[in-house]
Amino acid sequence: MTKRKIACPICKKPAEENWLPFCSKRCADADLGHWLSDDYAIPGEPVSPAPEDPSAED
């Protein structure tokens, strides 16, 4: 059975087994940073804003 080569989604170098699907910790951390800064989003139904609490203004 042949292993399929995949490319790192960040830099496109061959992925390393220890960091799949990335090639290194640096690229894995870069991807995490994209998620944490809302660069990526999973599509879904729009959410309406929560109603404001009138008693919170006092």
Write out the binding residues: 8, 11, 23, 27
Distance CA 34, CA 41 (A): 10
Distance CA 46, CA 58 (A): 31
Residues annotated within the binding site for Zn(2+) are: 8, 11, 23, 27
Distance CA 19, CA 9 (A): 12
